Amino acid sequence: MTLFSSYPAHGAASTRLRSVLAALATTLCVSAPVWAADTTPAEQLKRWTVEAGVPASADRGKVFFNAKHGGEWSCASCHNAPPTTEGKHANTGKAIAKAFTEVAKVDKWFRRNCKDVLSRECTAAEKADVMAYLVNLK
């Protein structure tokens, strides 16, 4: 179940829930990862495919990922092509194709990166296509 899928619509509740979870994580002495795994790439793909209402296309996702969309950057500028290798961007650190384990993180970075590259947020169909592309790289 995608616990945070409605976030930030339920902002206050989610924030409260998240601090409870954070406190719990500390109590349990887990080496407190900032991002707790609560999803998988396949779940993300399903989520956006459902939202988009059309089947995702890995081919479209690949074109989208490598295109500059009229700006200076493509997703591949930072994430490499294919994005299974270490990203070029110093902070990217690891290959994003192996990530996608936390809903809030995926949402945050899709929002931020799409604005950087396209000067707008990505549509559900675009995100589904990118996920189909990334999932199929494995």
Q: Which residues bind ligand HEC (CB under 6 A)?
A: 73, 75, 77-79, 89, 91-94, 96, 99-100, 105-106, 109-110, 113-114, 116-117, 130
Angle at 101 between CA 114 and CA 110, to 5 degrees: 5
CB 100 within 8 A of CB 40: yes
Cβ proximity to ligand HEC: between 23 and 54 the closer is 54
Cβ proximity to ligand HEC: between 16 and 89 the closer is 89
Query: In the bound complex, what is the minimum distance in angstroms from residue 53's beta carbon to ligand HEC?
Result: 20
Query: What's the Rg (C-alpha) of the chain?
Result: 16
Cβ proximity to ligand HEC: between 23 and 84 the closer is 84
Instruction: Using alpha carbons, list the distances in angstroms from residue 47 to 57, 61, 128.
Output: 14, 16, 8
13's enclosing H/E stretch is: helix 11-27
- Provide the token pair at 110: 């899709």
Query: In the bound complex, what is the minimum distance in angstroms from residue 93's beta carbon to ligand HEC?
Result: 5
Query: In the bound complex, what is the minimum distance in angstroms from residue 27's beta carbon to ligand HEC?
Result: 25
Query: In the bound complex, what is the minimum distance in angstroms from residue 44's beta carbon to ligand HEC?
Result: 8
3-state secondary structure of 7: coil
- Provide the token pair at 63: 């074109």
Cβ proximity to ligand HEC: between 15 and 86 the closer is 86
